[in-house]
């Protein structure tokens, strides 16, 4: 077993910096693109053998040190009764959004039996891989944003208006989603996931006060509830520079950092917690000299061989060249 990633989450000294990339499974890789000619995204996630195949491809092609489960953050809301489709070049589009507080009643409790396919994918990966398997879930705010907006948004105005206009119902929605997140991740750990990551992709839309009052208490409960699972817990969000002190205060082993905050500053705030990130995905499309210069500058700010996992500050762009990404993995391993 290549345990570089797991050791780094614990802050242990490693012989080379571990690497994995968010959204490494799919998007830019040739095997995934070929499968997408025949299958939709949700079809792939619900076919355990094919989902495992997609999850394994970056390990073999890129040489990364961990496997992120190929899934979709909307699988949890779907298991709670939400009906949606993934629209090409748009994202998840719901049949019915949450427009009023009464609509929250239509959400059901999460039952692990509804994602048995996901658990089977993890079992397959554990049998076939010699790197750790990372399970994941969307965070309650990000999930609530999709449920309220009904589709991806650039402003999340409807979500924030609901949160500010109906604080009690917002708390109820966040509590329901938080409970689902915990049980969803526990099911993944029970199937063999060796680490879990909670993605709060859109939480940067909030002010520090909004985050502190209406999101952070739920995040703290989630991470506290997962402590008994005894696997490393990663808290990731984008555009979190303005809330990073609160964001990194949860009881998690690893804090994700996007490119809007330097590793040096993030380390100063996060303290003894391990860091993950913070390469701007756009750098992957730049000349090789720019890529290495960016990596070198980031590594000069921290000790990359203790308590650090190399990753992007968000997901792998579809335009990324897998040959360049593989070369980057080798470069990071050589540092």
> Which of 3, 7, 32, 72 is an active site residue?
72
- Per-residue pLDDT of 145-164, as tens digits, reads 999 999 999 999 999 999 99
Q: How far apart are CA 230 and CA 67, in angstroms?
A: 18
Q: Which of 7, 23, 179, 221 is catalytic?
A: 23
Contact predicate 302/275, CB 8 Å: yes
Segment 174-233, tens digit of pLDDT? 999 999 999 999 999 999 999 999 999 999 999 999 999 999 999 999 999 999 999 999
Residue 89: predicted pLDDT: 83
Residue 191 to residue 176: CA distance in whole angstroms: 23
CA angle 166, 168, 173 (to 5 degrees): 90
Backbone dihedral angles phi then psi of residue 276, each to the nearest 5 degrees: -140, 135
Q: Report how far residue 177's alpha carbon sits from residue 313's, in angstroms, rounded to the nearest whole number.
A: 25
Question: d(Cα 59, Cα 224) in Å, to the nearest integer?
Answer: 31
The answer to whether residue 36 is catalytic is yes
- Specify whether 23 is catalytic: yes
Q: What is the pLDDT of residues 125-145, one digit of tens each?
A: 999 999 999 999 999 999 999
For 5, 28, 105, 187, the CA distances from 17, given in Å and listed in that order, are: 8, 23, 46, 29
Is there a cis peptide before residue 278, judged by omega within 30 degrees of 0?
Answer: yes
Sign of the Cα torsion 172, 174, 178, 184 reads positive
Is the pLDDT assigned to residue 70 strictly greater than 90? yes
Contact 301, 275 (CB under 8 A): no
What is the average per-residue pLDDT within 292-316?
A: 97
Domain carrying residue 239: 4-334
Region 104-119: mean pLDDT is 96
Query: Does 72 participate in catalysis according to the annotation?
Result: yes
Mean per-residue pLDDT for 26-50? 94
Question: Distance between CA 81 and CA 188 in Å, rounded?
Answer: 19
> Quick one: pLDDT band at residue 28, thresholds 50, 70, 90?
confident
Task: Give the chain's domain count.
Answer: 1
Q: Is the pLDDT of residue 26 over 90?
A: no
Pairing label, strands 274-277, 84-87: unpaired
Cα–Cα separations (whole angstroms), residue 237 to 22, 56, 255: 12, 25, 9
Concatenating the DSSP letter of every residue in 38-75 gives: T--HHHHHT-HHHHHHHHHHHHHHH--S-EE----TTH
Catalytic residue among 27, 186, 221, 233: 27
| CA torsion through residues 204, 64, 196, 97, sign | positive
Confidence bin at 20 (pLDDT 50/70/90): very high
3-state secondary structure of 24: coil
Active-site position among 3, 7, 32, 146: 146
| pLDDT band at residue 304 under the 50/70/90 scheme | very high
Tokens at 280, concatenated:
């701007």
Mean pLDDT of 248-275: 98
Are the beta carbons of 74 and 139 closer than 8 angstroms? no
Mean per-residue pLDDT for 38-46?
Answer: 96
| Residue 335's pLDDT band (cuts 50, 70, 90) | confident
The active-site residue, picked from 16, 36, 212, 260, is: 36
CA distances from 299 to 78, 293, 306, 333 (A): 40, 10, 11, 12
Rounded to two decimals, the pTM is: 0.97
* Structure-token pair, residue 281: 């995905």
Please give the pLDDT value at position 328: 98
The CATH number given to whatever domain includes residue 284 is: 3.20.20.210
pLDDT at 325: 97
Could you tell me if 152 and 220 are in contact, meaning their C-beta atoms sit under 8 angstroms apart? Answer: no
> Average model confidence (pLDDT) for the chain?
97
Identify the pLDDT of residue 326. 98
Residue 86's DSSP bridge partners are 92
């Amino acid at each position: 077993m290549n345990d570089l990633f797991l050791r780094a989450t614990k802050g242990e000294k490693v012989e080379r910096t571990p690497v994995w990339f968010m959204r490494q499974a799919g998007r830019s890789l040739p095997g995934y693109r070929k499968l997408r000619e025949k299958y939709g995204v949700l079809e792939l996630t619900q076919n355990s053998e094919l989902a495992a195949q997609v999850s394994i491809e970056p390990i073999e092609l890129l040489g990364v040190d961990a496997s992120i489960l190929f899934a979709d953050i909307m699988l949890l809301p779907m298991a709670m009764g939400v009906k949606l489709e993934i629209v090409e070049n748009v994202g998840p589009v719901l049949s019915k959004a949450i427009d009023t507080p009464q609509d929250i009643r239509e959400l059901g409790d999460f039952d692990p039996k509804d994602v048995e396919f996901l658990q089977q994918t993890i079992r397959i990966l554990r049998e076939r891989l010699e790197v750790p398997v990372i399970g994941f879930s969307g965070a309650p705010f990000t999930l609530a944003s999709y449920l309220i907006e009904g589709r991806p948004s650039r402003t999340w105005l409807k979500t924030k208006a609901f949160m500010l206009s109906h604080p009690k119902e917002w708390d109820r929605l966040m509590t329901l989603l938080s409970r689902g997140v915990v049980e969803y991740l526990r099911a993944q750990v029970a199937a063999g996931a060796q680490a879990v990551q909670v993605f709060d992709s859109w939480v940067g839309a909030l002010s520090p006060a909004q985050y502190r009052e209406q999101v952070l208490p739920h995040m703290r409960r989630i991470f506290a509830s997962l402590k008994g699972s005894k696997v490393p817990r990663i808290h990731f969000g984008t555009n979190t520079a303005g809330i990073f002190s609160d964001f990194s205060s949860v009881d998690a082993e690893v804090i994700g950092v996007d490119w809007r905050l330097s590793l040096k500053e993030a380390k100063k705030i996060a303290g003894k917690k391990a860091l993950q990130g913070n390469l701007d995905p756009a750098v992957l499309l730049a000349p090789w000299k720019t890529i290495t210069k960016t990596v070198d500058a980031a590594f000069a700010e921290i000790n990359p061989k203790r308590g650090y996992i190399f990753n992007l500050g968000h997901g792998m762009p579809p335009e990324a060249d897998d040959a360049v990404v593989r070369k980057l993995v080798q470069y990071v391993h050589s540092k």
